[in-house]
Structure 1
């Protein structure tokens, strides 16, 4: 039994208690309960940090990956908000340059999706790895968890480039103990009907497929961050 409760019981038993004496104690207990409940009810706060694949290139905001994933998680009873911090054209270098101010204080976790533009531009995989690792380190220093979304080099870059680029993501996930989704475009990259006319970016249907496949990993990630657990 806590001190305030003991005080109320003792004073009711041993002496009359005026309403003006009782109200401050009752108010204090009520506020404690209300604030505690509010803390437990606070949603998990995520940021989707990436390039055009995250931003929702040529799609309405409600069809972008973060919005669709947030909706899917809420339909499973998970209280979460996912801010969209995707910027079309971003490489890992430009992502590193903006990650400190793009992730607000109070963020619980980040879905980190970058590297596709590095591969399209033929940026040395060693640079891509260095930038991704630096972003992971900065987020972890701030106490922000990371879900790493993997990428794969396009076939036209050749087998040598792919052999250097593709292992970046599973290696980083293993080394830094990150929740990991192997390929962000899984289920879409080879399906013409799920992409825009540019043949690269997912359309609304494509985003839906991406969300469906990503959902179990996202659910695992969010539940591990849920406040009060």
Structure 2
């Protein structure tokens, strides 16, 4: 969730797509980009390793960027889905919008555009939500969480309500900034995402 935006997204975690290979595209922020760790250590990198073992016909493209907002994802989504022609898209954005107190209506519109573009190329979508601390106000916090639930229902996507749920209350699972999960916590994040993602891979 760092605010400094990297110049480029993470590279693909697999070689160029083969004719019979299927593609999973991840659009996220630093929580999915593997902040302050190698790409292979983050939960998306671990996902690529799990797919290589359990679903060898799949590759993972991690297009996550540290500091990314839903506006940034919305601006990039058409290019990414046309370039990679994904079968599944994981959209895990919104944390930086919330930390900056950006309007909920804008985040909703941006996420809707990302879902729509993904579904337009025939991809299944897993929408991964976040939650905000109460200091932003009860209305904002509730509305932020509701955005994901409402969009998932509107577009009939899979939904994981809160990416950080298994570690949210464990201070030791976060780096010194208290925002980014440690390397040791990445497997827990993958294990949390997997049950929601697994049905989309069949």
TM-score after normalising by structure 2: 0.85
Query: How far apart, in 2, do the equivalents of 1:199 and 1:218 lie?
Result: 27
Query: How far apart, in 1, do the equivalents of 2:159 and 2:57 lie?
Result: 21
Counterparts in 2 of 1:57-68, with a 5 A limit? Answer: 57-68=35-46
CA contact (8 A) 2:94 2:107 kept: yes
Query: How far apart, in 1, do the equivalents of 2:40 and 2:106 lie?
Result: 33
Could you list the structure 1 runs, at least 4 aligned residues long, displaced by more than 4 angstroms after superposition.
none
Query: What do the CA deviations read for 1:126-181 (whole angstroms, capped 9, x no partner)?
Result: 11111101111122122222111111122221212112111111111111110111
CA contact (8 A) 1:149 1:181 kept: yes
Query: How far apart, in 1, do the equivalents of 2:57 and 2:194 lie?
Result: 14
Corresponding residue of 1:115: 94
Query: How far apart, in 2, do the equivalents of 1:102 and 1:77 lie?
Result: 22
Corresponding residue of 1:170: 149
Q: Is there any run of 5+ residues in structure 2 with no aligned partner, and where?
A: 1-17
- Cα distance change of structure 1 residues 105 and 83 upon mapping to structure 2, 3 Å threshold: closer
Larger CA Rg, structure 1 vs 2: 1
Query: How far apart, in 2, do the equivalents of 1:178 and 1:89 lie?
Result: 25
Q: Are 1:220 and 2:199 an aligned pair?
A: yes
Q: Are 1:80 and 2:58 an aligned pair?
A: yes
Counterparts in 2 of 1:107-186, with a 5 A limit? Answer: 107-186=86-165
Query: How far apart, in 2, do the equivalents of 1:220 and 1:200 lie?
Result: 29
TM-score after normalising by structure 1: 0.75
> 1:77 deviation in Å?
4.4
Corresponding residue of 2:48: 70
